[in-house]
Every structure is written in C-alpha cells, then in structure tokens.
Homo-oligomer: A and B are copies of this chain.
Amino acid sequence: MTDIHAVFKAKKALIAGGLGFVGSNLAHKLADLGAEVLIVDSLISGYGGNLFNVDGIKDQVKINFCNICDSHNLAQLLSGQDYIFNLMGTHNKYDGVDNPFYDLELNCRAHLSVLETASKVNPDAKIVFCSNRNQYGKPIQLPVSEEHPQKPIEINGIHQLTIENYYNFYHRVHGLKTTGLRLTSTYGPRHFMRHHKLGVVNWFIKLILDNREVYIFGDGKQIRDINHVDDVTEAMLLVAAHKEAAGKVYNLGGAPVSMENLIKKLIELTGNGGYKIMPYPEQFKILELGDYKADYSKINKELGWSPQISLDEGLRNTIRFYERFKRYYW
C-alpha cells in the first residue's frame, strides 16, 4: 500500500458522526497524522456516539454538536474542509423495521443534506461515505463483488442503497468527489456496547467478557466476513488520498468466519463465557441475509488495500481495550 498518510498533515477534515464507532477511530488516526479535525455529531441516544471515544485526542479535535439536516449549520461546517467523512446515520436494521420514518430522516435526508450543501459551498472537497452489505440483500453468489445485484430486503438496506445512489448522482451531475465503501461486519474498540442492534460481533464480545452464554441463532455455521475497524479507517484514508477513487464505490472485506467459530475463539481468548445454538426467533429470521463473504479485489487492485489485522490479533486488541475501559461502554 502506498504511504498516503503524509497528505493529511495540516489538512482540514470534517467527520460527521465522529463520536461514533468508525468515526472516532478515524478521528484518532487523522489527529495523529496532524490533520485539523472537526467532529460533527448529535449524540442521539442509543446510536453509538460516546464522548469517551475521543479520550486522548480531546485537545486536538473540535467538536460541534448539531443536527446535520439543518442546512444553515451545515453550510458553515462544510465550508473550507479538504475532506468530509460522512459516517453519521444508522446501520441499525432492527429499528428501521420499527420506525422506518426515523431511518429515512437519519439516513436519506441527512446524507442528502450534506451532498446538497457541499455542492453549493464546497464542491471541491473529497467526500467519503460508508454503506454496508445490507444493500446487496441476500447474496446469490459468494464472494460478493461490487457488481452483485442489489436487492435489499429491509428498510435500512433500502436506504443504504438510496444513499449510495445519491452520492453517485452528486458526483455525476454536480462533480463532487465522492467515494463509497461498502462495509462488512466491523468490530474493534470504541463500539457501542449497550444493545445488540449496532453490530452483533461487538455485542458477542461484550457478552463473553461478561462471562455470559451467547445465543447463536440458526445452526451457527452462518458466515460473517469481519473487519477490524483499523483496517476500515485505513481504507477511508486511502480512498480520500487518491484522486482516482472519486466517483467510485469499493467493497471492503476481511476474515470470513462462522458465528460458532468466532464465539469459540472469543471463549478461548478470554477463558470466559459459553454458547448455545438455537432456532432463529421470527423477528431476527425475517431480517437474516445469510452467509456473506466480500470480494474486495477491486480496492486491492486499484488502490492496494487489503486487511492487515488478523482475526486473532484484532480480537485480542479489542478485548484488551474493553477490559481496560469497560466502565465507559458497559
């Protein structure tokens, strides 16, 4: 991978959702690289934001609390930024079913606000956003490449696809320099740990650290392709730094593993917890997308990205973090 880190020194970078999981990990990296980081967040309860996530870089970043849909705020905030990382919104497919209007606001309207405002006040900024595997729906073949049909089966996946289409439109018609990453299951430090809805891998880590029994639904053999958050934020820097990534979307992918084997590994690494395999409850089954394995050869060939952190190393690092900072996340 080319060393692209130097380009961020003294550059202005806005991270929307910068107090959340991926956003705050990115903020740490950018602060370390000498970027001038502006975090924008509204800290909506239960959606992942946590002030402790910027512990250690508090004096190096600015935080602006606001509603990202307000175009007056936004014009001020987006102006003059070299990089805009848009990590706000929600990937919570359970709440999307229960309250589709809220998902529409937090996702479609919020991203549209950023794009429409950027097209007016800062059309030259590089803009990076993330969607996820939900936009593909149930895979018809594995691994899933960017060309796989996109037939999302639930509200959040439907909106992820809508959002990506927005970014492509603003690139094509308004010339914005947008790049999208389609994330798979991402785990690591600084995740929300108070309910299961924002990511099951992190939730299972919590349960195991609490010495609890994990319920794996189905047969335990379902494959999830998981990425450590440091590999994901590295990809974000990479696409931000490369001009030729503008107007493109890339899959990320990492370590495909069955849920049962993942839990076994967590039990082995911690010496804690247990698991039980049981049938899917109806409300989970209807949203289950089946096995997933990403084909990330496009970003590998074009930009040289590949995941650098092994599953063992990533899980150890994650476990250490939560053991140390449990009180801020539990």
Chain A residues within 8 Å of chain B by Cβ, number = 26
**In the bound complex, CA of A300 to CA of B122 (Å):** 50
Residues from chain B with a CB closer than 8 A to the CB of A152 are 165
Judge whether A101 and B109 touch: CB under 8 Å: yes
Residues from chain B with a CB closer than 8 A to the CB of A155 are 166, 169
Judge whether A165 and B169 touch: CB under 8 Å: no
| Identical copies in the complex | 2
Q: Is A116 engaged at the interface, CB distance under 8 Å to the other chain?
A: yes
Q: Is A220 engaged at the interface, CB distance under 8 Å to the other chain?
A: no
Q: Is A15 engaged at the interface, CB distance under 8 Å to the other chain?
A: no
Given contacts A116-B101, A169-B158, contact A150 B153 (CB under 8 A): no
Residues from chain B with a CB closer than 8 A to the CB of A101 are 109, 112, 116
Q: Is A108 engaged at the interface, CB distance under 8 Å to the other chain?
A: yes
Residues from chain B with a CB closer than 8 A to the CB of A112 are 100-101, 104
A228 to chain B, nearest CB (A): 31
Judge whether B162 and A158 touch: CB under 8 Å: yes
Judge whether B166 and A158 touch: CB under 8 Å: yes
Residues from chain B with a CB closer than 8 A to the CB of A150 are 150
Residue contacts A-B, CB under 8 angstroms, 28 given:
A97-B173, A100-B112, A100-B116, A100-B166, A101-B112, A101-B116, A104-B104, A104-B108, A104-B109, A108-B108, A149-B149, A150-B150, A152-B165, A153-B168, A153-B169, A153-B172, A154-B173, A155-B166, A155-B169, A158-B162, A158-B165, A158-B166, A159-B162, A161-B161, A161-B162, A161-B165, A162-B162, A173-B286
